[in-house]
Structure 1
């Protein structure tokens, strides 16, 4: 397995089978152009097998923190430690970027995700509510 940071639209599009929906070229370009956005892709025999995306957030009185935005591993490659390795690679990147922490929101019944993040050293920070403003299908 080889984990590399995606730096081109071509790389992001080639990993499209790992996403929830087909990627759009213009959104991939915008992702790469945005400060603080990162995607690490795990390759097995040259094939994208999984990814983790992160967003570095900065606040004037807190400094920088990394949000693990999404983690996915293709079905044939699951239960091989790829999700854990991707999570740890993002942790390493967050430390390199001098983030004070990394966090992820996980649904309480997502046992696979919870196990993956805990195996990578994450601890429970307590319960929280997530509230969403929906803007309709125009943004998609």
Structure 2
């Protein structure tokens, strides 16, 4: 597949994300897709084949801290196995970088596993610096980790 056989654009239809569930870590629900697409600062771009089938995606979140300029966090990147090593991931990241620049972001960052050689190679090929000193801290289950003393805010 050459670049002319697919195009990249924003996801706007929750049903399209549900149909592309195979690209994600877990099945996409209509509710989850609607919620993501409605959240300010959240972006999801799809690489679509000529028949409009999604072959890859990248999601990002604009982040801002009071003492820093806005940055784009690359939340997740996925490419259908049959379409890997054809430039789809690089094109998705370039498109997200252009979106980030248009939103005033001065940087873009992400994290991945040290053993994810393909991702690290893709990121390096686009000029990223791999910071081997950083460590990610994850709380997958807040209630379990912090006990029942954590009370969710009322909505």
Distance in 1 between the 2:142 and 2:21 partners?
23
TM-score after normalising by structure 1? 0.91
How do 1:67-106 and structure 2 match up within 5 A? 67-106=73-112
TM-score after normalising by structure 2? 0.83
Structure 2 residues without counterparts, runs of 5 or longer: 1-5, 145-155
Structure 1 residues without counterparts, runs of 5 or longer: none
Q: What displacement does 1:82 show? A: 0.3
Which of the two has higher C-alpha Rg?
A: 2
Deviations 1:84-120 (A, max 9, x none): 1101111111111111100010211111001111112
How do 1:1-140 and structure 2 match up within 5 A? 1-45=6-50, 46-135=52-141
Q: What displacement does 1:80 show? A: 0.4
Distance in 1 between the 2:140 and 2:92 partners?
30
SS of the equivalent of 1:13 reads helix
SS of the equivalent of 1:113 reads helix
Please list every run of at least 4 consecutive aligned residues from structure 1 whose deviation after the TM superposition is greater than 6 angstroms: none
Distance in 2 between the 1:125 and 1:95 partners?
22
Q: Which has the higher strand share?
A: 1
Distance in 1 between the 2:91 and 2:134 partners?
26
